[in-house]
Amino acid sequence: MADVVLKAQNIKKSFVMGEVITDVLKGVDFSVNEGEFVAIVGESGSGKSTLLYILAGIDTPTEGTVELLGKNIANTTDEELAAMRRREFSFVYQFDNLVPNLTVYENVTLPLVLDKRKESEYKAQVQEVLEYLGLADRLKSLPRQLSGGEQQRTAIARALVTNPKVIFLDEPTGSLDKERGRQVMELLADINKNRGVALVMVTHSQAHAEYATKIVRMEDGVVAQC
């Protein structure tokens, strides 16, 4: 049996605003195997981003447990989680959060620099990833000098250079036109298939969800496998 890289059990999340309590997640069970590509679909406001943030340890659940790469996130220190984020898993936000005054190369290598890795050790591999994502001639560009698709690919390159086991993506094609969205999806499917990276992707698009090996739907605060 394939190894489980992510296992979430009975995840509940309620937001309290004044006297109003909103129960967004009402007991989600969710697991991802090594090398799997899971798409999370569901209506706007159904809790997809909330779930993804909890699975990636960015937000904490009101109840329930998340085991990511063999560790119960609730029992990890901030430092341990930060180290895992630099080495074992990564996150691509819907609206890329590239650092505006850093070049493409500097943005992409940021997690490696933060991890105090030597440039001589990672340079060739970073170059390979940038070529693979069609960014080799954009190394010195600033994010604002890139197209939307190039910015999104830069964010994916940054998520990939650390050789993670899992990448979480929140609407990675949300801000792209149809053709650029398709290109990014082809790339993600290739990354999953040929590099064996498990992907957990939130998407509005049924067509893009079809690239995944498993589709789950958020409905009424729980997930149903499609």
Ligand X SMILES: Nc1ncnc2c1ncn2[C@@H]1O[C@H](COP(=O)(O)OP(=O)(O)OP(=O)(O)O)[C@@H](O)[C@H]1O
Q: Which stretch binds Mg ion (CB under 5 A): 48-56, 74-82, 119-127, 190-198?
A: 48-56
Distances (CA, A) of 36 to 66, 171, 197, 198, 211: 17, 18, 8, 5, 11
Residues numbered 7-26 forming contacts with ligand X, rule: CB under 6 A = 15, 17, 22, 24
Residue 118's φ and ψ, nearest 5 degrees, are -80, 135
For Mg ion, the binding residue among 25, 32, 38, 49 (CB under 5 A) is: 49
How far apart are CB 171 and ligand X at their closest, in Å?
A: 7
CB 41 within 8 A of CB 215: yes
SS3 210: coil
How far apart are CB 203 and Mg ion at their closest, in Å?
A: 10
Q: Residue 72 and residue 9: Cα distance in Å, rounded?
A: 11
- Site string (26-65) toward ligand X, x via CB under 6 A: ----------------x-xxxxxxx---------------
Does 50 help bind Mg ion (rule: CB under 5 A)? no
Which ranges in 133-196 belong to alpha helices (H)? 148-160, 178-195
- The residue (of 10 and 22) whose beta carbon lies closer to ligand X is 22
Distances (CA, A) of 89 to 22, 69, 83: 30, 9, 9
How far apart are CB 58 and ligand X at their closest, in Å?
A: 12
- Judged by the rule CB under 6 A, the positions of this chain that interact with ligand X are 15, 17, 22, 24, 42, 44-50
